[in-house]
Amino acid sequence: MRRRLAFAVLALAVGSALPAGGQGSKVADLERLRAAIEESRDRVTRFEREERGLLDALDAIDRSAALLERDLRRARVRAKEAHAALEEAEALARGSAERVALLERAMSKRAVALYRAGELGAVPLLFSAGDLREFLSRVQVLRRLLTHDAALLTRHREAETALTAARETAARAAEERSVAQATLDERSQQLRAERDRKGALAAQMRRSRTHERSALAELETASRALETALTAMPDDAVVAPGRAPSRPFASLRGGLTAPVEGRVARGFGRQVDPDFRTETFRKGVEYAVPSGTPVRAVAAGSVRYAGRFRGYGETVILDHGEQYFTVSAHLSEIAVAVGDWVEAGAAIGHSGESGSLRGAQLYFEVRRGSVALDPREWLSAARSR
């Protein structure tokens, strides 16, 4: 009340003394995300009902999970930016409030001085001057005083306007932060649900002999498709113009550095399921590494395939010449493109669990044409573990 009174007194005194997007894109992304999640649910239900279509279900889950992970990264950025914007807006509002309070204290002092001067204000001061020179001097002082009061009032009005705008900005920022955090929480929950669905799919396959046999048949079909793809690649393996390995790949046997830092969890060769006694032949090795582990080229070569391959998830195939290939699968992301030339040790992607029913890992093969070779015979014993 006292602040409003001071403002009113000063205003009255001065007034009497001086002359008078992109929204459509977000909707489309959300629709794609919903459709992908719905498809993954349908594919899993169909596999459970018909006891076939494992790879379709797995692929649908991986696609929806990839979309969710992308959206989750965006949501994290938005939430972080919204939090920073709110802090900035609140700091601005505090600064504006402090300026208003400072101006109002100054206005209160001037209001008290005007009140003490009485109704006639400066009139007695002017006419008590001894001569014209003193009178004009007092007029100059009074003019400067009134100009100061007018400026003080203007600054107060501007500060009040800035404070109102700052508070509105802070309110919007708080709302945007809440929306961003809600989106982040929702995407995190949806991604967990997709991963749980994938885990349940793997568990069901292990529990059911029929489901496992069906899955093994599909995986064998996928393996033959990979062999066919490798066989179909022309003999002039090196795509990058003017590039060729410094040494023949065959001469590197036993000396290659492992594609990841990690242990081999499952080896090459004949495998027997301990529960159902089903027999399979693993044509590569599986490294037990966390998702996001850098995957590197074991030798120089050209990228012949970089993308999703049925049954293997995100896959990179490197051509090392003379029909030697290496296959890195179950990646979370790919860092190269078809036609790229990579040197030994260059990053080609990161490990993940795309196409995998055993969680995060790297599946790695060495091949001569369509013939699978034991990677451990090619990798340095000190690094292949």
- Which runs of consecutive H residues, i.e. helices, occur in 18-122? 23-50, 54-117
The model's confidence at residue 154, banded by pLDDT at 50, 70 and 90, is: confident
The model's confidence at residue 135, banded by pLDDT at 50, 70 and 90, is: low
Q: How far apart are CA 301 and CA 83, in angstroms?
A: 45
Collapse the DSSP code of 366 into the 3-class scheme (helix H, G, I; strand E, B; otherwise coil) and give the result.
strand
pLDDT digits (tens, 9 = 90+) for 16-46: 344 444 566 777 777 887 887 787 778 777 7
Collapse the DSSP code of 162 into the 3-class scheme (helix H, G, I; strand E, B; otherwise coil) and give the result.
helix
pLDDT digits (tens, 9 = 90+) for 315-365: 999 999 989 999 999 999 999 999 999 999 999 999 999 988 888 999 999
Is the distance from CB of 258 to CB of 267 less than 8 angstroms? Answer: no
Is the distance from CB of 326 to CB of 298 less than 8 angstroms? Answer: yes
Task: Give the Å distances, CA to CA, from 110 to 4, 100, 143, 157.
Answer: 13, 15, 15, 16
Mean pLDDT of the chain: 79
Collapse the DSSP code of 46 into the 3-class scheme (helix H, G, I; strand E, B; otherwise coil) and give the result.
helix
The model's confidence at residue 4, banded by pLDDT at 50, 70 and 90, is: very low
More confident residue, 277 or 375: 375
| Residue 24 CB neighbours (<10 A) | 8
| Residue 315 CB neighbours (<10 A) | 25
Task: Give the Å distances, CA to CA, from 250 to 123, 182, 321, 333, 365.
Answer: 108, 55, 9, 29, 15
The reported pLDDT for the residue numbered 114 is: 58
Q: Which residues of the chain are in CATH 2.70.70.10 domains?
A: 210-384
Closest CA to 292 of 362, 379, 384, 366: 362
Q: How far apart are CA 11 and CA 107, in angstroms?
A: 10
Which numeric CATH code is attached to 210-384? 2.70.70.10
The reported pLDDT for the residue numbered 216 is: 76
| Strand positions, DSSP E, the chain | 263-266, 269-272, 279-282, 285-288, 294-296, 301-309, 313-319, 324-334, 341-342, 347-351, 362-368, 371-373
Q: Worst-scoring range by mean pLDDT, 8-17, 147-156, 201-210, 276-285?
A: 8-17
Is the distance from CB of 68 to CB of 190 less than 8 angstroms? Answer: yes
Which of 79-83, 99-103, 230-234, 250-254 has the highest mean predicted lDDT (pLDDT)? 250-254
The reported pLDDT for the residue numbered 201 is: 78
pLDDT digits (tens, 9 = 90+) for 215-236: 778 788 888 888 888 888 766 5
Mean pLDDT computed over 204-210: 72
